[in-house]
Amino acid sequence: MIDKESQSALASFIGIAKEEYDAILKTIKVESYEKAVELILDAEKRGNRVHITGIGKPGHVANYIASLLSSTGTPTYFLHGTEAVHGSCGQLIPGDVVICISNSGETIELKSTVEAVKNNGCKVISVAGNPDSWLAKQGDAFLYAGIKAEGDLLNRAPRASILAEILVLQGLSIVLQSIRKITPQEYVKWHPGGTLGQLRENEN
C-alpha cells in the first residue's frame, strides 16, 4: 500500500513540477532562439548538418529532440555522449552544429565531447541550467533551461530539469518549423505510418 509519506512526496513533486514548469515558460522568449536558429540555418545553407548530444538522462532527451526536429523539417542526428570521443565524431564534418545538453553544464564526460566536437570544426549550441557554467561559456549560442528543484527529497534525480530541457528544445523546434512553413502534406510525407500519416478533412 502507498503510505501517507509517499502520498505527500507525490503531492510535493506535483507542486514543484508546476512551479518549475511555469517558471521556465516565462524565460522562453523568441529572441532567445535568434543565435541558435541562425547557426542552424547558416549550416544548412552550406550543406552541413545538425547533431544533438547529452550524458545520462539528457542523452535520452537528445534522442527525443533529434526525432522531433527531424520530423518537423530539421534533419538532426543523435551523437552519443561518450562514444563521440571513441570514434563517433566521425559523423561530424567541419561546419556542422552540435546541440549539447547538461543541467549543470559541468558534466565531465560532456566536456570531453564538447572539446572533441569543437576540434572537429563544429559549432556548439549549449543547453544548460547555469548560464555561468563551463558548457554555457563554450557555446556559440546558449539556451537557458534552469530549475531550482528537481522535485524529490534528495533533489538529485533529474526530473524538473528534464522538463525544462525538453520545453526549451521543443520551443526551438517550433521556431524552426514555423520558419520553414511546413505544410500538412510535407508532414504526412515524412510520417507515412500511423494516424499522423493521414491528412485531415481540412487539409486535403
pTM above 0.75, yes or no: yes
Examine residue 201 and state whether it is found in any structural domain, yes or no.
no
pLDDT score recorded for residue 195: 87
User: What residue numbers bound the domain in which 37 lies?
Assistant: 4-189
Examine residue 150 and state whether it is found in any structural domain, yes or no.
yes
pLDDT score recorded for residue 85: 96
124 in Cβ contact with 84 (< 8 Å) = no
Give buried/exposed letters for 15-46 (b at 16+ CB in 10 A, else e): ebbeebeeebeeebeeebbeebbebbeebeee
Examine residue 14 and state whether it is found in any structural domain, yes or no.
yes
The CATH code of the domain that includes 75 is 3.40.50.10490
Q: Tell me how many domains the chain contains.
A: 1
Instruction: Give, in order, the Cα–Cα distances in Å from 204 to each of 69, 182, 198.
Output: 24, 15, 10
- Do β-strands 97-102 and 123-128 pair in parallel, antiparallel, or remain unpaired? parallel
Report pLDDT digits (tens) over 122-172: 999 999 999 999 999 999 999 999 999 999 999 999 999 999 999 999 999
Q: Is 157 helix (H, G, I), strand (E, B) or coil?
A: coil
Examine residue 202 and state whether it is found in any structural domain, yes or no.
no
Examine residue 203 and state whether it is found in any structural domain, yes or no.
no
101 in Cβ contact with 56 (< 8 Å) = no
pLDDT score recorded for residue 192: 86
Q: Point out the residues of the chain with pLDDT beneath 50.
A: none
